[in-house]
Structure 1
Amino acid sequence: MTQVRDERDQKGSGSDSVAVPALGPLGMLRWAWTQLTKMSTALVLLLLLAIAAVPGSMFPQRIQDPDAVNSYIEANPTSGPWLDRFQLFDVFSSYWFSAIYLLLFISLVGCVLPRAAQHYKAWRAKPPRTPKRLTRLPQYRRVLLGGRDGAEAPSPSEAIQEATKALKKRGYRVEARDLDGETPSVGAERGMWKEVGNILFHVALLGVLISVAIGSLFGYKGQKIIIEDESFVNTLVAYDSFTPGTNFSADWLNPFSVRLDNFQADFHRDTTDPAQYGAPTDFEADVTVTEEPGAEEKSEKLKVNEPLNVGGTKLYLVGNGYAPVIRVTDGQGNLAYEGPVVTIPTDSVYTSSLVLKVPDAAPDQLGFVGLLLPTAVMDEGSMPRSVDPGLSNPVLIMSSYFGDLGLDNGESQNVYVLDVDSLTEMNSMMSDNGAITLDGANRSAELPDGKGTIEFVDVKRYVGLDIHNDPGRIPAFISFVAAFVGLIMSLFIARRRAWVRAYVGQDHNGVQCTVLEYGLLARGEDHRLGAEAEKLTSLWTSLWEDRGVRDFPLNSSDKA
């Protein structure tokens, strides 16, 4: 025995051993396609896609804020350029993110299409043949038809025909077999929609991927502040900030316009609840919309969480505040600036910061920073403050500067920040001249050293809009609903098979009757299979109740 084993070992390790054939290029492609189209591979790619999106929230993205990217690279001269080489500032348009996205798409297509074709063939096919031994199925029952109290038993063929009709009413697709034989039977199957739901779920995932890709490629979003009685025309230069899709073209902008006619802010005025007094309760903007040049104007209302849809573009109300109208005359007596100035609320009572740059003033450029107090309280010995968000006693408190504002060198600046390092201070709370205070009684003030005058003309309201155009939004929603429906179908629809056979037999007392035996099999886990077997038993009872239906008890030999 040892000698034989040694000879086999030598033969297997020698030069005459069987060589495994190489796959070859075509075989390698088939193997790679098989691995890529596995459901486990699709799940791994989906996880990789989620992980790959993380750097997009960790690092500034060039498409959203190129200045922030440049600042990050300047602040990190060692790691910044390397991060840029790996496209971590352009994550969602990078080659590696696009590769994962494309592989996931191909993997899902490769999973779904063959699976759908296979299920279509299974749907068109007949129910499986009747097993020889129904007793081996997880759920097995037998009932006796007739043969008691003189009741006439139905023939096996008649019993199977009635069983076929009953199963069809319960949603089974059925096929009766051997009706003219001694043991006719019927094969039945239901729950084919379960796999349809599964396929629908995966097709919907493909729809979500395609919709997201469409939105990121061809959509855009932007922000715009509109002051009362002013209009916004949907052009690229009109936006305060704009984030285009990867393949977006400015020619695709819908040529609509929006004018802010009035803005109404309601605040809590119930004095019995002082803790909530002054809290905002509702914001409503009255706007006039023109969907395209020459079209009829439409009056609309814009509220928080109630966006306005203009030709597929959504306008969201996301902010509001005060815009005091200011007139500035320079030292030569010329009008250097007149118009509303957008302020930024800093607290719940709308104490708002203000920055005004006047580059057209002469002989020196002028700059102002300060606060707008909507309902000002000027107590002696304390700082001025606002006690209510409503516009009851508006007061402007400002500091003034002159010098070079740095706007002529071509570098972009934040309109809400004034760099005072290169400017000379004229007014402030800490200077001898004091701060400029403008209210209802004192509307204008002279600037020191003959630099001009500043006048508080009026106060207007403004709204901040988020403007979104996502062509993939509706397809994504439809795909999400389809995925949810498919998931529900795949979870709650049971795939089952049932077989019923009838033959002439005898009960334990030797009385001739028709034996109806049936068994059920679940495709996958189905804890409700036993309940289905009991329902079929009740069904047979109701069908042949007048012929004396009886349970046929099982013993150990029945399951042998």
Structure 2
Amino acid sequence: MTGDKTRASALTPLEFARFLWTQLTSMRTALSLLFLGALAAIPGSLIPQRPVSPAQVDKFLTDNPRLGGVYEALGLFNVYTSPWFSAIYLLLLISLVGCIIPRCFVYARALRAEPVAVPSRLDRMPVSASAPRSGSAASALDRGEAWLKQHRYRVRRERGALSAERGYLREFGNLVFHISLVFLLIGITWTVTFGYRGTSNVLVGQGFSNTLTQYDEISSGPAFTDADLAPFSVVVEDFEAQFEQGEVNTGQPREFALLTRVVDEPGAQPREYVIRLNEPLEVRNTQIHLLGHGYAPQMTVRDGDGNIAWQGPSMFMPQDGNLTSTGVINAVDARPERLGFEGFFLPTGTVDEMGPRSLFPDALKPQVFLTAYHGPPKHETGVPTNVHTLDKNGLEQFSRPDGSPLAFKMDVGETVELPDGRGTITFDGYQRWVRLQVSHQPGMGFTLASVIVAVLGLCLSLFVRPRRLWVRVDDDRLDVAGLDRADARTGLADEVEQLAESVLGEETRHD
């Protein structure tokens, strides 16, 4: 007996696969996967991601080697492309498809089917009405059928009774909403797989070519290659920034306008375009946004031999709304010792109890505050370094005669001599730079269309009222009843009364 029970309880491979499919395509599983996907996305917003901020990931690994190793093993630095997140995403897509397809067949059968038969006890319905009647039953049913069709009901006529139903678009909207979610996931996958997004800091007066070497940072999908970069170039002609100067909201940005000259393809004539914050430039299905801006002080560094070791602009990175900016100047070619400088650029500079800072984001009183370093020439390794940080290995900070660290302020045109004849540095002026974001998202239009269709489907499922009405005509009595198939609906009692009036041609008496 026990063996028979064991054999009966054992599942064949086909039955087990069918069981797994049933569990996967249940609504409970779909909701669980959706919630699990939301939880899995949390680390992506809390932990730096390598495709977006590789420098921050490297810094995190340096500062937290043990924890960083755990995160690396779990794929938390690449959450959205990790195998476990992709598995959740794929299972959610399969679950949605598995839920939708059977419902589509059920809905198709419901469209072909007639309204349900008239219940035997209409007085048990949520709303009902009855009245004595006289005259022809066929004429009464004709009047009721005409009223129902006028109000967009599908009508089934039986012997002495009518059954009517409307609201089929509610389930249609529900299906459209869920199908659009599937297409939304497909669109996101398309964009993530084949798209890319990168940023580049460009000095005003210089240009940007859409090649990998021109990007400061770039993140792309697994199917992306450098051959997918559209061939175009952008020259930054001018940049205009306007800030609020009144007593209210002083320093708040009013308008940013970036004048560019664009060459769409090799050999084409350049065209001018103005990029604003909410008005990107689109070139060959690639969008170019203005993300930010800053200042690049123009410096000239002469070494101890009197030769120019560095000359040109150096981009300083903004730290606050008034564009107090930090940066470095690496004069690695200086001899007999290499020189390095780090400090602040202040568009409208001042020094108070808070230290050097800018009072206004526009360059009304530009100043540079620097500290200087010197050291033996460094052997070139060919390994790229961060141009925004100063590698102090082997460097020593200059000191004053009293032993305190050397720090100095410079106005435009000022030159500072370094101690012991090791060189000079001159503040020649400044240039502006802008941060451009270049992005290609091939599935964005498809995704947007899916969102719009999903919203329309959701509106149908929320606002369409599925409702059933019945009419029964006996020898001397009329019974009318109604049922709403969705909660929180109103107007059912009014429709029942109007239907009864149309059948009778007179006022009804409610039970």
- Same topology, TM > 0.5: yes
Count of aligned pairs between the two proteins: 511
In structure 1, the partner of 2:280 is 307
Residues 1:367 and 1:159: Cα distance change in structure 2 (over 3 Å): same
Alignment of 1:494-533 (within 5 A): 494-505=465-476, 515-525=477-487, 527-528=489-490, 531-533=491-493
AA aligned opposite 1:408: E
- State how far apart, in whole Å, the 2-side matches of 1:106 and 1:75 are: 41
- Find the partner of 1:157 among 131, 138, 141: 138
Q: Secondary structure at the match of 2:480?
A: strand
String of CA shifts for 1:122-164, please: whole Å, max 9, x gaps: 112122223333333332222445x5xxxxx3x2222222222
How far did 1:43 drift? 0.6
For the Cα contact (< 8 Å) 1:175–1:187, is it kept in 2?
A: yes
- Find the partner of 1:254 among 217, 222, 230: 230
Alignment of 1:11-160 (within 5 A): 20=8, 22-66=10-54, 68-69=56-57, 72-73=60-61, 78=66, 80-145=68-133, 147=134, 153=135, 155-160=136-141
In structure 2, the partner of 1:479 is 450
Long gaps (5+) in structure 1: 1-12, 148-152, 506-514, 555-560
In structure 2, the partner of 1:490 is 461
Residues 1:91 and 1:346: Cα distance change in structure 2 (over 3 Å): closer
String of CA shifts for 1:16-63, please: whole Å, max 9, x gaps: 889635331111111111111110111111112122223334444343
- State how far apart, in whole Å, the 1-side matches of 2:447 and 2:470 are: 43
- Find the partner of 2:180 among 197, 204, 207: 204
How far did 1:219 drift? 1.8
In structure 2, the partner of 1:417 is 389
For the Cα contact (< 8 Å) 1:161–1:176, is it kept in 2?
A: no
String of CA shifts for 1:479-520, please: whole Å, max 9, x gaps: 222222222322232222222233432xxxxxxxxx432222
String of CA shifts for 1:78-120, please: whole Å, max 9, x gaps: 5544543333333322222222211111111000011011101
In structure 1, the partner of 2:365 is 393
How far did 1:228 drift? 0.9
- State how far apart, in whole Å, the 2-side matches of 1:217 and 1:449 are: 58
AA aligned opposite 1:189: E
For the Cα contact (< 8 Å) 2:140–2:504, is it kept in 1?
A: no
AA aligned opposite 2:296: A
Q: Secondary structure at the match of 2:13?
A: helix
AA aligned opposite 1:269: Q
- State how far apart, in whole Å, the 1-side matches of 2:2 and 2:357 are: 97
Alignment of 1:261-300 (within 5 A): 261-270=237-246, 273=247, 276-300=249-273
Q: Secondary structure at the match of 1:63?
A: coil
Report whether the alignment pairs 1:232 with 2:213: no
In structure 1, the partner of 2:299 is 326
In structure 2, the partner of 1:509 is none
- State how far apart, in whole Å, the 1-side matches of 2:256 and 2:469 are: 63
Residues 1:294 and 1:396: Cα distance change in structure 2 (over 3 Å): same
Report whether the alignment pairs 1:166 with 2:139: no
Q: Secondary structure at the match of 1:20?
A: helix
For the Cα contact (< 8 Å) 1:130–1:186, is it kept in 2?
A: yes
- Find the partner of 2:495 among 513, 526, 535: 535
AA aligned opposite 2:391: D
How far did 1:194 drift? 0.8
For the Cα contact (< 8 Å) 2:480–2:500, is it kept in 1?
A: no
- Bigger Rg over Cα: 1
- State how far apart, in whole Å, the 1-side matches of 2:314 and 2:401 are: 21
Residues 1:142 and 1:404: Cα distance change in structure 2 (over 3 Å): farther
Long gaps (5+) in structure 2: none
For the Cα contact (< 8 Å) 2:298–2:428, is it kept in 1?
A: yes
In structure 2, the partner of 1:408 is 380
String of CA shifts for 1:368-390, please: whole Å, max 9, x gaps: 223323334689x9977644333
For the Cα contact (< 8 Å) 2:172–2:457, is it kept in 1?
A: yes
Residues 1:320 and 1:68: Cα distance change in structure 2 (over 3 Å): closer
AA aligned opposite 1:213: T
Q: Secondary structure at the match of 2:8?
A: coil
How far did 1:206 drift? 1.2
Return 47-56 or 421-430, whichever deviates more: 421-430
- State how far apart, in whole Å, the 2-side matches of 1:77 and 1:434 are: 35
Q: Secondary structure at the match of 1:293?
A: coil
In structure 1, the partner of 2:317 is 344
In structure 2, the partner of 1:353 is 326
For the Cα contact (< 8 Å) 1:144–1:550, is it kept in 2?
A: no
How far did 1:433 drift? 10
In structure 2, the partner of 1:372 is 345
Residues 1:22 and 1:358: Cα distance change in structure 2 (over 3 Å): same
Identity of matched residues, %: 38
- State how far apart, in whole Å, the 2-side matches of 1:67 and 1:390 are: 29
How far did 1:229 drift? 0.9
- State how far apart, in whole Å, the 2-side matches of 1:17 and 1:399 are: 85
- State how far apart, in whole Å, the 1-side matches of 2:40 and 2:79 are: 8
For the Cα contact (< 8 Å) 2:184–2:451, is it kept in 1?
A: yes
- State how far apart, in whole Å, the 2-side matches of 1:277 and 1:378 are: 19
- State how far apart, in whole Å, the 1-side matches of 2:189 and 2:371 are: 50
For the Cα contact (< 8 Å) 1:399–1:429, is it kept in 2?
A: no
Q: Please, what TM-score do these two structures have when normalized by structure 1?
A: 0.81
How far did 1:434 drift? 5.7
- State how far apart, in whole Å, the 2-side matches of 1:299 and 1:427 are: 51
